[in-house]
Amino acid sequence: MSTEHKSGAAAAADDDVKLLHSMGYAQELARTMSGFSNFAISFSIICILAGGITAFQGGLSAGGGASIGIGWPVGALFALVVAAAMAQISSSYPTSGGLYHWGSILGGKGYGWATAWFNLLGLIFVVASVNFGVYDPFFTTFIAPLLGISSETLTGHVLQLGSWKINLFQTGFIAAVTASQALLNHMGIKITTKLTDLSGYLIFVVALVLTVSLLAFSKTPLDFSRLFTFTNLSGTEGSWWPQNANSGMVFLSGLLLTIYTITGFDASAHTSEETHNASANVPKGILRSVMWSALFGYIMICSFVLVMPDIPKGVAQGAGFLSSLLDTVPHGLKVALGIGLFVVNYICGLACLTSTSRMMYAFARDGGLPASHTLKQVHHHYRTPVTAIWVSAALAFVATLYGDAFVVLSTGCAVFLYISYVMPVAAGIFAEGKTWTTKGPFNLGSWSKPIAVLATLGGATLVFVGVQPPNDKVLYLTLGLCAVMLVFWWALGERNRFKGPPIGDTAAKRADAIHRIEESFDETA
């Protein structure tokens, strides 16, 4: 590296620190992530090989092929509009726990406090649902047979606690996976970054090989009209959805596939304080992760529909549909794909835990959580929020003990996260030009407010879809959380105790810091 390049990199790093200081925070975490790494962590969490497979039945068993061929692009467009609005705010306020910080600045400390709880619980549910999925279907379907483990072994050891049944093998497996992810996070962002960078490439490769393999070895004649043929499969054998004669609602129900898959891209914001040139790289990471996931995910899930011998029978197969589709693929290739899927999903959970712990650390840093003083501590050597990492892991593991874990967790995490995405975006509509006057390098210009309005409406639509029957439990959970927050905020005095984010330096100093960052980007370009 040349001396000139080194001095430029040092200046950029210094600008990052000064901008963070202007928002009232010290640089405690290790700022080592590149722009690609920031993209890769969100791309790894979105992970089309996780949600695109485990929630595929949620789309197919609603409106059949049309829920895939038409539903995915519609849902992806909603997600992209939300991502664009979030990207603009992240460019202005590149901090860990971004959404909470944005909500507080743009909508007030109480608004930010509520945003934080929705975001944090959504992230905990993400870790839980992903690691639940690592076990079933990816371990049970692909890895267990390779190790000679029978299905009886996986389901035979059950602990009965009253009406509550705990599968000991499943519980032990998920506990071990979650603990190993916490340990890797504990040991520094560099280790996690290397693995998520690898996952970024691996997702592209495995998705491509999976798609080509299914199409190449398929015995089903390709019929692209399947992708645009609406068939109401609600209430049929294996369908996620109860019988519903309303075709519009059935189609909207199918959007759950996209909602669950294309979420978690706030990870780019949560790792802002560990990313170089965060004002530019974080919004790029958010947008690129959504766009590439939407494109490659669409190609992959369309191939599932095209090679499926019979769609109603495919719905009836439930989570085993992919294993059945892979029966036409040579054994060696099937094994390789299975291992690739398992590894990618494991790293997805690792990245989810990184994002969750940074959110917990940031919220605790401002005194928003019980035991905040402990949760905000950063290890002096690894420079990671170790207590927040292990507490996040423990809470995610506990969530998996719930009997209906996957469906409730996967839907709950998507609903909570999209609520937390929409809240600061909606606040920004009213704050722009008033309290929000300085924007970062990524600026939507005259499109800013129209996109924010569309993002709010689109995000609200996705939340509405997520609480429809049979996901009533998610609705009750959401309303219950709102009621608890109201009690704590108003009745128990949290509004007086919680101070919110620090004010930081003057707006003029912050504007100057952003201006100098923009100048450095122009020079390097």
pLDDT tens readout for residues 29-81: 999 999 999 999 999 999 999 999 989 999 999 999 999 999 999 999 999 99
Determine the pLDDT at residue 14: 75
Q: What is the C-alpha separation between 137 and 143, in angstroms, rounded?
A: 10
Between CA 369 and CA 242 the distance in angstroms is: 39
Rounded to two decimals, the pTM is 0.90
The list of the chain residues with pLDDT below 50 reads 1-7, 506, 508, 521, 523-525
State the pLDDT at residue 260: 87
pLDDT of the residue at 168: 82
What is the token pair recorded at 51? 């949600």
Would you state the torsion angle of the CA atoms of residues 458, 459, 462, 463, taken in this order, to the nearest 10 degrees? -140
Q: What is the pLDDT of residues 503-524, one digit of tens each?
A: 655 454 555 655 565 555 454 4
pLDDT in tens, 433-479: 998 988 999 999 999 999 999 999 988 888 888 888 888 888 998 99
The confidence score (pLDDT) of residue 406 equals: 62
Q: pLDDT value at position 222?
A: 93
Selection from 12, 5, 4 nearest residue 276 by Cα = 12
Q: Helices then strands (H, E): number in the chain?
A: 26, 2
Phi/psi at 420 (nearest 5 deg)? -70, -25
Tell me, what's the pLDDT at 439? 92
